[in-house]
Amino acid sequence: MELKDLYGQVVTGVVTDLNKDEAFVQIEGYTFALDLSELESVPELGDEITGFVYENQAHKNKMTANLPSVSQGVWDYAEVTDVRSDLGVFIDVGLKDKDIVVSLDDLPLEHSEWPKKGDRVMVKLDVDHKGRLWGKLADLNLYMQLVRSANDSMKNRDEETTVIAIRDSGTFVITEDYYLGFIHVNEQSGPMHIGQHVKTRAIGSSHRRLNLSMKPRAYEEITPDAQMIIAVLEHSQDGKMPYTDKSDPDDIKEYFGISKGSFKRALGNLMKQRKIEQKDGFTYLK
């Protein structure tokens, strides 16, 4: 067996040497260094050890007893640690001295749709003919095998979701409970990218998937008048103002430039959303 055929595998080898920091494990005539800090006790020469083998960032043959979160047959979420337009995105799969690259060939053509640093994406490991480890991004077909069937009883539920695929007509997401969701372009609040965390609400279902919206419910929308009130409170020294729904209409008109009716509707909207409260003749920012 060639060295490149071992990379990315979980294999068992024999300890042939030791120093104060590492055990050297031989497999098929090749030697891999394993950090002793990963083991509960120092092994003896001739002991068998099982671990994941790879070439680290410094091109050193390594074995780890702490198996990565993903493998060639196992999909899992991994965090994006870096993005390079000439290579792809780097992900942390649990190897302390090596991040894995998801090649730009497996990413959208538009760089703006690539995952960003800190995003989580579902991947598995892939090993090429040279023994190099790559991350393989899950596609929509894989998610279709994992998802649960949605129905209209879920309408109006809030859903925390992750972007998994982007189309001209809209964006596919996966919920935390593994329902497939679709956000039509008209229901999006801006450009989207793979791995993006999105807060949505269910507005219906079709084809076993949830139809979702990023737009607020009608009563959650903040009107221009309410935005003005929030701005006043945010710029006040102590987050309060001496105006309430009991204030004199002329005082409101003079300070805010709107009628008392418009002012009260804006206050009511903000109180319903629990953004403000009124007490002792003042309105407070919560």
Q: pLDDT band for 219, please (50, 70, 90 cuts).
A: low
pLDDT band at residue 149 using 50, 70 and 90 as cut-offs: very high
Question: What pLDDT band is residue 1 in, cutting at 50, 70 and 90?
Answer: confident
CA-closest candidate to residue 80, choices 101, 51, 53, 61: 101
| Residue 69 placed within a domain | no
Q: Rounded to whole angstroms, what are the CA distances from 141 to 41, 149, 180? A: 44, 15, 11
Whether residue 85 is found in the same domain as residue 129: yes
Give a yes or no: residue 117 inside a domain: yes
Which amino acid makes up residue 124? K
CATH (domain of 274): 1.10.10.10
Domain boundary (138, 159, 188) is at 138
Report the CATH number that the domain containing residue 19 is assigned in CATH.
Answer: 2.40.50.330
* Sign of the dihedral defined by the CA atoms of residues 159, 147, 121, 204, in that order: negative
Is 71 contained in some domain? no
Same domain for 52 and 16, yes or no, is yes
Same domain? For 190 and 158 the reply is yes
Q: Which residues contact 124 (CB under 8 A, 6 or more apart)?
A: 70, 71, 72, 73, 74, 75, 76, 135, 136, 138
The confidence band for 221, taking pLDDT boundaries of 50, 70 and 90, is: low
170 and 205 inside one domain: yes
With CA atoms as reference, report the closest residue to 213 among 178, 253, 171: 171
- Tell me the three-class secondary structure of 140-193, residue by residue: HHHHHHHCECCCHHHCCCEEEEEEEEECCCEEEEEECCCEEEEEEHHHCCCCCC
Residue 48 lies in a domain: yes
Q: What's the number of CA atoms in the CB half-sphere (13 Å) around residue 10?
A: 13
Where would I find the H helices in the chain? 3-6, 140-146, 224-235, 249-256, 260-272
Query: Which residues constitute the domain of residue 154?
Result: 146-213
Percent with pLDDT over 70 in the chain: 98
167-191 pLDDT, tens digit each: 999 999 999 999 999 999 999 989 9
Q: Three-state DSSP class for 100?
A: strand
pLDDT at 21: 95
Query: Are 168 and 132 within one domain?
Result: no
* Mean of the per-residue pLDDT values of the chain: 93
Q: In what order do the strands lie in the sheet with 276-279?
A: 240-241, 282-285, 276-279
Q: What pLDDT shows up at residue 272?
A: 86
* Domain-located, residue 250: yes
Q: Please count the structural domains in the chain.
A: 4
pLDDT class of 49 with cuts at 50, 70, 90: very high
Q: What is the pLDDT of residue 218?
A: 60
CATH number of the domain bearing residue 183 = 2.40.50.140
What's the CA gap between 12 and 63, in Å, rounded? Answer: 10
pLDDT tens column, 241-250:
999 999 999 9
Mean pLDDT of 58-70: 95
Last residue of a domain, one of 43, 64, 85: 64
Q: Clarify whether residues 48 and 96 are in a common domain.
A: no
> Mean pLDDT across the stretch 151-177?
94
> Would 230 be classed as within a structural domain?
yes
Nearest C-alpha neighbor of 101 from the set 61, 53, 133: 133
Query: What digits encode the pLDDT tens for the residues 100-122?
Result: 999 999 999 999 999 999 999 99
